[in-house]
Amino acid sequence: MTAELSGRVAGSGVPSPWAIVCDFDGTAIMGDIADALALRYLGPTQFDFVNTQFRRGDITFRELLHKLFEPITATPLEIRVSAQELAEFRPGFVRLVELSRERNIPFTLASGGLDIYITPALELLSASQRAWMTVRANHAVHRDGGLDLSFPYADQPGSCGACGSCKRAVITELQNNGYRVLAIGDGHADRCMADVADVLFARARLREWCDEERQPYIAFETLDVVADFLESNFAHARLQ
């Protein structure tokens, strides 16, 4: 991996600054709150049916989100309690957020899921850690009989058109602002990051897909792997 040697600021000889784009479900946290909520309210049969439709290509990612989440009748308070019960941050996550804050590295939590459960989960972090993050996700509000979904970032430049809040658009925006982007993910929506990220950290289904597609990545199970990468990069920069 030669990422530390690439991405110079034009004419300066100085490496471009890093930015981090990190997925939420299955990456920042150990489990998947989206799946857990959908499973609880749809039941396993309907949950499996909808996911099979998506895997077969019968429905788009946004249609999957509608089918999974619109039937969730929980109140915002019930979702908040569930999200906080289910949110176990991945080892190394808090260290990575703190490192990014101390080093002035922009940290975007980018999710193809919904803000209605991500925001309360992040309340488990300190105020300074929360304040350091930018959250980019799809939007949901409670109504009688379910959730109303909307996709406020769907038309951002670089979006794939399928995710709603597409991580490719988040990365492109950061790169256009002069950053090298370190992307971290585990699932289907993270494929949109794979060929645009300057460095990709992958686990689980994303890792399997990268192997099949011969897409370069660094494997991780804890986010200490990412923090160590950044630390070694700072050490490398000091030696230049």
- Residues forming the site for Mg ion (CB under 5 A): 23, 25-26, 186-187
8 Å CB contact between 59 and 214:
no
| Least spacing, CB of residue 34 vs Mg ion, in Å | 8
| Shortest reach from residue 89's CB to Mg ion, in Å | 14
> What residue type is 188 in one-letter code?
H
Quote the CA–CA distance of 24 and 121 in Å, as a whole number.
10
Nearer to Mg ion (CB atom), residue 15 or residue 121:
121
Look-up: residue for tokens 């949110």? 87
Measured from the CB atom, the residue of 23 and 173 that comes closer to Mg ion is 23
Shortest distance in whole angstroms from residue 186 CB to Mg ion: 4
Name the helix (H) or strand (E) containing 109: strand 107-114
Q: Which two tokens stand for residue 47?
A: 């949950």
Would you say the C-alpha torsion 162, 163, 165, 167 has a positive or negative sign? negative
Kindly state the smallest distance separating residue 113's Cβ from Mg ion, in Å: 8
Phi, psi of 42 (to 5 degrees): -90, -30
Q: Where does residue 161 rank: exposed (0-12), middle (13-18), buried (19+ CB within 10 A)?
A: exposed
If the CB atoms of residues 23 and 115 are measured against Mg ion, the closer one turns out to be 23
Task: Choose between 26 and 164: whose C-beta lies nearer to Mg ion.
Answer: 26
